[in-house]
Structure 1
């Protein structure tokens, strides 16, 4: 091969490689800038702050600290509706409100119980992917000091321009499919008497 052709080939290879790199950077930048990821970054930051103060706050303090964050980034009514399944349509407005409050309490309690202390852990977003219905899935991990990773997946939906979490799956924290039967059973149990919407007491950590 002539010196001219060799140089030309090297130039083409370099140009293609550069375009690939810049293309990847563009994709990574778009994923990093996606508003769905920003929601998870914000919630991860709140979790990490709570973990660092976990022992001093105690369970009740962690619950109270995380409650406002959960209210801000989770679509609790939608999650409660999906967890109860088809039985939701037969509920009165008061019953729906009561079940949403109960779902909210269980969700906050789960986070307050599982993220209770800090030993050098950090959160790391690993992927942002498109899902059906114009939803997004943000995969993140709680990375321990020794490198052990706890994967967490959040599914988010856009409601009137605002991205909110509609599902969360993590080891030890059952997803909506696992909760559906429990909530449906509660509805059947309470169907004979109207439910009163209330904010559950959380002075102690009791499992469902």
Structure 2
């Protein structure tokens, strides 16, 4: 009788250990896959905007892409990182104005550049864990002439969801470029000038599609 109880307890322990291991593997796989899914959402939307470039107006592409950027990017973290020490000197209103101007300019830039389709496609190459719990998703944009542009995305977790905080295009960090450009404007003319500059760039893109 005692041997039977010990045997049953042993079987239960083995089943619990197996279940726990399987759950851990599932959680690890989900943790690894979600960054790639986020990139897929962005890239699929960009390809769709390109494919419908003749049917969709510039305004339509803006409207279509704006919520995609909100879903896939951590825009506040991007702006905060770009501005660095300048960020903490801003009041809440200026911080929100800056995020809004940056978000609108980012959407306008995507809507402007991804407007024609000739068989282009994105291809995800790999996921890689980075320091501080971040993830790198490496991908390529295959052009119609078979030329390749590297699009590598750095993501972190925001409220338990993965979001893009930097894009490296052919080895050039978008975050680093904007940090140099934006901080130069702030140092010379102040934060309001930077906000105005971003708004003007957005308006210029829109005007270009009205001509």
TM range (shorter): 0.7 to 0.9
* Deviation string, structure 1 residues 133-173 (Cα, Å, up to 9, x no partner): 10001111111244221211110001221101111122598
Aligned residues between the structures? 177
* Gap change, CA 1:136 and 1:152, over 3 Å in 2: same
* Gap change, CA 1:126 and 1:205, over 3 Å in 2: farther
1:187 Cα deviation after fit: 3.5
The equivalent residue for 2:17 is: none
The answer to whether the aligner puts 1:72 opposite 2:71 as a matched pair is yes
Where does the alignment leave 5 or more consecutive residues of structure 1 unmatched? Answer: 1-25
1:101 Cα deviation after fit: 1.1
Structure 2 contact 122–141 (Cα < 8 Å) conserved: yes
Higher relative contact order (CA 8 A, sep 6+): 1
Partner Cα distance (1:150, 1:104) in 2: 24
The answer to whether the aligner puts 1:131 opposite 2:130 as a matched pair is yes
TM-score for both structures, normalised by structure 2: 0.72
- Structural RMSD (CA): 3.1
* Gap change, CA 1:107 and 1:205, over 3 Å in 2: farther
Secondary structure of the residue that 1:204 maps to in structure 2? helix
The equivalent residue for 2:104 is: 105
TM-score for both structures, normalised by structure 1: 0.73
Structure with the higher fraction of residues in helix conformation: 2
Where does the alignment leave 5 or more consecutive residues of structure 2 unmatched? Answer: 1-24
